[in-house]
Amino acid sequence: ATDITRVFVKGTPNALQKKVYTTVLKVFLNSFHAVPTNGFEIDDNARKIFAKNPIEGFVFNHGLGHGIGISVHEYPPNLSCGEIAKVPIEENMCFTIEPGLYNQEHFGVRLENSCYKKDGKIHSFVHMNYEKKLIDFSLLSEQEKIWLEEFEVI
């Protein structure tokens, strides 16, 4: 099984849409480049990034990711703030990284990749692009811009 989520805007995105999309992308990039010890630590770091980049009225109200296998939501691992996520992420484990921000009166953004751990690093099964017109590059660090080069941006 696998999982992927992308968000697109028809026409020209407004400043809020770009800020939310870029913030979610920032969390994805940092989570993807985390040292994959366990899902609890990766999820905790994601929440800290969201807290440092708050967007009024938008919430991240789910776990950062889940294991994938024969079933779409298969344990282990789990990337969340729950005890279940403290299980180590082992070599060849498959999981999603799926940060998102949502406001039921406006819109939501989720960016999800199916990933796996190999040679101590996180790798992506997904090579689907991110939409350039939704990225506010001024909100990304130089390191995040370098990380983004690993993925197609159109």
Q: Which candidate, 10, 27, 29, 9, places its Cα nearest to that of 18?
A: 9
Contact 122, 36 (CB under 8 A): yes
Question: Which single residue is written with the structure tokens 């090579």?
Answer: 127
Find out whether 65 and 79 touch, Cβ atoms under 8 Å: yes
Q: Which tens digits make up the pLDDT trace of 19-61? A: 999 999 999 999 999 998 999 999 999 999 999 999 999 999 9
Q: pLDDT (tens digit, 9 = 90+) per residue, 83-111?
A: 999 999 999 999 999 999 999 999 999 99
70 band by pLDDT with thresholds 50, 70 and 90:
confident
- Name the residue type at position 104: Q
The CA distance from 154 to 152, in Å, is 6
- Whole-model pTM: value is 0.96
Q: Amino acid identity, residue 90?
A: E
What DSSP string runs through 92-111? T-EEEE--EEE-TTS-EEE-
Q: What is the pLDDT of residue 3?
A: 82
